[in-house]
Structure 1
């Protein structure tokens, strides 16, 4: 059985200044009868997430990774503002408490938010620990239904109309991710060059703009411990913006690995979606169309885009590792993800479908 998502010991070189943070929390939250306790949620690859216990109360602290120089992807104030506004209108995000831009406290900006307790289906969760087929099937439908709910939110009413420029979103994404890839490139991967060219030349027309999460996958949702098919929270809003909702769906499709996918794609385990009960990628699109009332006319483009975007995100992390900005050994083989995901993207384009590619 899957256990509640829990933090562990902080990784070396990612420790926080306990003394400074204790003084800061005393000013913000009052005195604590016990010393500050800091642990780390170590599963993520991007912004660093910590559990902090102060005077018997647990909070979550988020900060940029060490060595990060990708401003738009690690803007703590932006992420804080998104959650602060959303939490007033949407009950599936954690409440925020305060943001701090003074780097003298822990060396970077950070914010503190509510701890949402529950279960998170992490990549590489053993099949024997996964929920049963019936619960997984219910969860997958609720997972996509929650995505359509996010896309249906009136973002101007929520106060997020300045979060991004909706019009022209697709072109900006392809150009932007292509530039990020070139700036962090470490290896010559022909499939990546091919994907960049194909995406820019096959861009679909944008029909609408909405709030999009931009990293929506199983391990970014919190599940009810007593009803695992129920989603109680959506986490990691660092890349959220206003844009084309079908690009958001494309990112989800990119993370959605199936049991009959390429062995290497299954091995790297982008998400815990190979368990029995999870639908195919095309069935995910059917579910999305049912709840959103939006027709997805070009699934190959959105799937290829999702894979390309994942490749670039991973490439940026790998680049930081190669440059010595982080010593996290998990990053040493990330280039393999770039290689296989770009290969699958090209295969999808060549076969003009998103399922049964190998």
Structure 2
């Protein structure tokens, strides 16, 4: 029996002001009746996610981490806007309820949405997850096929085109993430410097623009659960964490997914990043082939996108680690991110040298 993704007690220093929240909801979102209990979802290293329990319903609240100053990756208004635009065009999302752009209620902007229940496959589950290889393969395929479906959304009829400027997207991303790394650097990591330089010198011809999730991986997807066993079925009920969604080259999205996609032969540190190394999962190369076959896109330059995905993940981890090192977070997990940053940078450097994913 696989346990569902259950919320737990709120971490110290990350509590919400319940009386203030209820007063705000009574005045602005009466459909959300009085919140009786708040718990916190433990997964993830980015925005904080809470379960709001009313007498008859459950909602989810998202807010930035305490002490965060990285606006682009913690933009609650953007995530709420994305979910609003997707309504009626893409069904595998929660319904947005209300957004508060001020810091008056909870000390930071936040939004509330309906809750979707299902199974989230997190890396921490790998040691005890006894899924048949055939089922694991089906889940992998469903994950890839759903990414193709997201990239196939019409960005004009949906209004999603207003979310970004696709021209020059790849170059802006590379230059922007290099700058973010430099601003958050705490330890000298030569592989980060060499990878950044390689990216600047090897821009590919950009693909036609599409809608990008920008953080698409197993632990941002909710699978339907078998009623008898609780095991995940290869049916995706919901996709979460849209705060970095935008318009641009869709292979940047695929590259990010590949950068999370650990394999059986990878180092233990990298395998802690995901559970895609378990028997039956597609390999990174098989992911590429399936995506190419389903989407019809040219993936001959996928190495660039994969390397950028590794670099970007390293920078995100570095930003979180720097915030912890500066004392802005008490989450002990964040203090152990430096080896992962080095691992990601080394993997990117090795992929450049070998030409292999």
Partner of 1:51: 51
Is 1:249 matched up with 2:250? no
> Which secondary structure state, in structure 1, belongs to the residue aligned with residue 13 of structure 2?
coil
Instruction: Provide the secondary structure at the position in 1 that maps to 2:123.
Output: coil
What pairs with 1:288-303 in structure 2 (closer than 5 Å)?
288-303=291-306
Does residue 29 (structure 1) correspond to residue 34 (structure 2)? The answer is no
Deviation sequence 1:155-178 (CA, Å, 0-9, x none): 221112111111111100100000
Residue 346 of structure 2 corresponds to which residue in structure 1?
343
* Offset of residue 35 of structure 1: 5.8
Residue 5 of structure 1, CA deviation: 1.1
What's the counterpart of residue 157 of structure 1?
157
Work out the CA distance in 1 between the residues paired with 2:178 and 2:32. Answer: 49
- Once residues 102 and 167 of structure 2 are traced to their aligned partners in structure 1, the CA distance between those partners, rounded to angstroms, is 35
1:281-315 deviation digits (Å, cap 9, x = unpaired): 01100000111011200222121111000000000
Question: Alpha carbons of 1:207 and 1:126: their partners in 2 closer, same or farther (altered >3 Å)?
Answer: closer
- 1:278 counterpart (269, 278, 281): 281
Q: TM-score, normalised by structure 1?
A: 0.95
- Residues 276 and 107 (structure 1), Cα distance of their counterparts in 2 relative to 1, 3 Å cut: same
Structure 1 spans left out of the alignment, 5+ residues: none
Uncovered stretches (5+) of structure 2, i.e. residues with no partner: 227-231
Within 5 Å, give how 1:109-120 maps onto structure 2.
109-120=109-120
1:38 aligns with 2:38: yes
Local SS of the residue matching 2:162? coil
Look up the match of 1:237: 242
- Give the TM-score of the pair, scaled to structure 2: 0.96
- Structure 2 distance, partners of 1:199, 1:5, is 37
The answer (yes or no) to whether the contact 1:211–1:245 under 8 Å persists in 2 is: yes
CA contact (8 A) 1:211 1:242 kept: yes
Q: Kindly report the root-mean-square deviation, in angstroms, between the aligned alpha carbons of the 2 structures.
A: 1.3
The number of residue pairs the alignment matches comes to 351
Task: Give the Cα separation in 2 of the matches to 1:125 and 1:194.
Answer: 34
Quick one: structure 1 residues 283 and 30, their matched pair in 2 at CA, closer, same or farther if it must change by over 3 Å?
closer
- The alpha-carbon deviation at position 12 of structure 1 amounts to 0.5
**CA–CA separation in structure 1 for the residues paired with 2:239 and 2:143:** 10
Could you tell me how far apart the structure 1 residues matched to 2:104 and 2:269 are?
44
Counterparts of 1:136 and 1:82, CA distance in 2: 30
Aligned to 1:325: 328
Q: Which secondary structure does the structure 2 equivalent of 1:124 belong to? A: helix
